[in-house]
Every structure is written in structure tokens, then in C-alpha cells.
Amino acid sequence: MHSFSLKKITRHCAAGIALLATTALAHANPAPASQTAGHVVSAEPLSPAFSLPDAGAAYRVTYLSTDGLTQKGLVPVTEEVILPKGKAPKGGWPIVAWAHGTVGVNSQCAPSLAPYTERNRIYLSAWMKRGFAIVATDYQGLGTSGVHPYLNTRVEAYSVLDGVRAALSSYPLKNKVMIVGQSQGGGAAVASASFAPEYAPDIDIRGTVATGVPYLDPALMAALLKPPADGKVETGFNPLIVYALYLANGLAAHDAAFSPKDAFTAKAMPAYHAAAQSCVSQLTDQVRNEGLNFQNAIKPEFSKLMAPAIADMRYPTLKLAQPLFVGTGSEDRDVPPALQFALVKAACTAGSNVQAHVYKGLDHSQTVNASLPDSATFTVAVMAGKPVASTCSALNN
């Protein structure tokens, strides 16, 4: 059982009040027809505890984004805009559009309602020291009403891109953008670069940096679910179950035909129901304590039933207009390296300029900050419009 300090209780109460206010605002003030994606609905100072070390002004912003589920109408989305200290350079600060990793599907799990983790504080502070402002969307359904459609690439991309538009319209920022993401956010970053030429050609994206990128198709899903060749029974905690539970909850929220009892075993159903409310650390604890894995949590019909959600994870194209940096930890259990290598191969085959780095001995989380020196070199080049070395040719060797 988790214990909560007075400070944590106060923080959660404040977060809840902010969420209720944002939700009420969304219902009380529907978007007029004249408003467009990227329109700022409201902004308020961000609590210093939720900002980054040595940052300047910081804001929690509610803006409008195209509904990524229906592709019609506008929905409110929240984000953080964190500026470096001091006077903005001529033309404004360039932008890191930060796409966050898995936090959950419940509105109160939104990153803007909580402090950054130590890992992300270090990581984003490094980008700020490079001279970038941070524009960090929560994604549709997090921080506002509704359930987040987890790993839906269109939802993620529209949220990221419209968040950039909103920030550019209101703060001293320059339309020179790096899209940066980890884990779920790595996929969101690739998705943003993929959707941008059609959806947001007005945004000057210079490059994409993604670590721990999820990539899944029916064949890869089948390989993940295939029993071990040696016949051994999987035991213990499997982190992929956490993501499967969130993916199923996100699907159930907008697909009435989905039946969780046909996808998950009775042993997994308590965790499935908990996923609707639990943020990632709590759900991870529950999945670990209950020893859930693919063999004891997933029914044979899982892949078929989850096909619509897997389809929503697809990118419209992997021929990206700008260079892509991919960082993979060789010991990543959250997003197995085989999935990340499949993404790199697909992007290279499509004709993208991909620079892939493998960090030996590092896991999903450790790779984030370990990639900083390599991404710095990559970023200097793409921000200056200079070519970057591709590693695609190595795939054929």
C-alpha cells in the first residue's frame, strides 16, 4: 500500500481542482465555429514545483486541437510551456515539442498536473540548456474530460502539433522545432513528423529525436504473444502487460464492441479495471504484485480483439520529411529492441534519413539520458540545416 505525505495530498488536491476547472471550462465554453486548432483557450502560471530547474516563466495552457478520434471538431487539450531564463533571443526561442511516455489513460494522470520525474527533469533541462523552450502536451483525454486513446498515433500527433501552434501564437518562440519523445512519446514524436506535412505544414520541424519507440503490427504482435520455443512457462512480472491494459482501456472507451472478458483472463480482470483509474506507477505495482504476464493474462482472442487499436498505432507514412534519431537500449524490456529495430528498418526502407543508436547494457529508462550526447550532435546539425549521417546502409551489411 502506498503512503501519502501531506505534501503529496496537497499536490493531488491542487491537481484535482485544476482538472475540474479545465473540464468545466471545456463544457461551459464549447469552441466557437470561428476558432481553429491551436487556439489558446486559457493559460495560467505553472506551479514552480511542476516546472524545470533554472527555468524562466512557465505556464499551463489549455488549447484546442482537432479531435484525433473523429477527425472532426475541436477538443480542449492541456500542455506546459516552459521558457528558459532571461530575455528571448531575436526571433524567439526555438522549441522542443516534448512527447511524454506512458502515464495512464485517466485524466488525472496528465503530466501537467504533477512534477517531472527525476529522469525527465535531467533530460528536459539538458534541452533547455541547449537554448530550447519546452512545449509539452498532455495529449487528448489527459488533463481534460474523456479517456485518453492510448497509443493512437493520430491523436498524439494532432495534440503535439496543435500544442506547438498554440505556444507559437502566445509566447516569444521561434518556428524552428525539434520533436522529442520517449516510449509512448517516442511513437508520438514519429507520428507527429509523419502527420505534419499534411496536417501542419506551417510548422518548421527540423528533426525528430525518439527513444524507446513502440512499433507494432499484426506480425510483431503475434511474435510477442508466441509461447517460448523451449516450452518454458513465463513467470513473474512482464511490463508489456501494463501497456496492453492501457491499450485495451483506451479502445473500450470509444469502441462499444470491445469485450475485455474475451481478451483477458479472470486473473487479469482486476488489473484491467484498475487501469481505468490508476496512473502508471500504481498499475505497474499491481501488475507486478499479481505476477501478470502474457501466458496468464491474455486469452487467445486478444490479438483479434485488439486489431482496431493496433491499426490506430500505424503511421500514415514512414518516409519522413526530416531526419529521425532513434535511441534503443539493448536491455529494454518495455519496448523490446526487436520492435524498435523493425521501426528503423521500415523507416529506412521508406526512404527516411535515420540515425539509429544502440546503448548496450541499458534499459528503457536508462537510454533516455544516455542518448543526450548523440542527440546533441544530431540536433546541432539539423537545426543548422546541415546533413546528418544515416545508419540505414548498415542494415544491409
Q: Determine, yes or no, domain membership for 221.
A: no
Residue 3 within any structural domain of the chain = no
Taking residue 232's Cβ as centre, other Cβ atoms within 10 Å add up to 9
Dist. CA 356–CA 345, nearest whole Å: 10
8 A C-beta contact, residue 365 and residue 336: no
For residue 335, being part of any structural domain is answered with yes
CATH number, domain containing residue 331: 3.40.50.1820
The reply to whether 159 and 291 lie within a common domain is: no
Q: Is the residue at 4 inside a domain? A: no
Residues 286 and 358 in one domain: no
Q: Which residues, 6 or more positions from 371, have their beta carbon under 8 angstroms from its beta carbon?
A: 209, 211, 325, 327, 357, 359
Structure confidence at residue 80 (pLDDT)? 98
Domain final position from 281, 311, 341:
311
Chain centroid to CA 267:
29
Q: Using CA atoms, how far apart are residues 78 and 145, in angstroms rounded to an integer?
A: 11
74-84 and 40-45 beta bridge pairing:
unpaired
Q: Is residue 220 part of a domain?
A: no
Can you tell me the distance from the alpha carbon of 74 to that of 192, in angstroms, rounded to the nearest whole number? 18
Q: Residue 1 falls within a domain, yes or no?
A: no
Strands 74-84 and 93-99 come out as unpaired
Same domain, 282 and 341: no
Strand 173-182 and strand 205-211: the pairing is: parallel
Shared-domain flag, residues 30 and 80: yes
* pLDDT value of residue 186: 98
- Torsion angles phi and psi, residue 66, rounded to 5: -60, 135
Same domain, 204 and 232: no
User: Which residue, 311, 345, 370, sits at the end of a domain?
Assistant: 311
3-state secondary structure of 24: helix
Last residue in a domain, options 279, 311, 343: 311
The answer on 249 and 119 residing in a single domain is: no
Whether residues 306 and 319 fall in one domain: no
Q: Number of structural domains, the chain?
A: 2
Ranges of beta strands (E only) in the chain are: 40-45, 55-66, 74-84, 93-99, 133-137, 173-182, 205-211, 324-329, 354-359
The number of angstroms, rounded, from the C-alpha of 392 to the middle of its chain's C-alpha atoms is 25
Contact by Cβ (8 Å): 345, 169: no
User: Which residue matches cell numbers 504533477?
Assistant: 114
Task: Kindly state whether residues 382 and 262 are assigned to the same domain.
Answer: no
CA distance 236 to 290: 8
Nearest to 129 by CA among 164, 84, 159: 84
37 and 160 both lie in a single domain: yes
Nearest alpha-carbon partner for 210 in 160, 244, 164, 251: 160
Query: Whose CA is closest to 297, among 331, 248, 257, 230?
Result: 248
Q: So what's the pLDDT on residue 25?
A: 38
Q: State the pTM of this model.
A: 0.90
Distance CA 216, CA 186 (A): 13
Looking at the structure, tell me whether residues 204 and 297 fall in a common domain.
Answer: no
pLDDT score of 374: 98
Strand partners, 135: 81, 97
Whether residue 179 lies inside any domain: the answer is: yes
Identify the segments of the chain with pLDDT beneath 70.
Answer: 1-34, 227-235, 396-397
Task: Measure the CA–CA gap between 291 and 235, rounded to whole angstroms.
Answer: 7
197, 113: one domain: yes
Structural domain includes residue 2: no
Please work out, in degrees rounded to the nearest 5, the angle formed at the alpha carbon of residue 58 by the alpha carbons of 178 and 376.
30
**Is 63:77 a contact under the CB 8 Å cutoff?**
yes
- Quick check: 50 and 15 in contact, CB under 8 A? no
Mark whether 119 and 158 lie in a shared domain: yes
Q: In this structure, what is the dihedral angle of CA atoms 223, 224, 230, 232, given to the nearest 10 degrees? A: -150
Q: Indicate the Cα dihedral angle 181, 183, 185, 187, nearest 10°.
A: 100
How far apart, in whole angstroms, are the C-alpha atoms of residue 116 and residue 140?
A: 19
- Boundaries of domain holding 143: 9-215+313-396
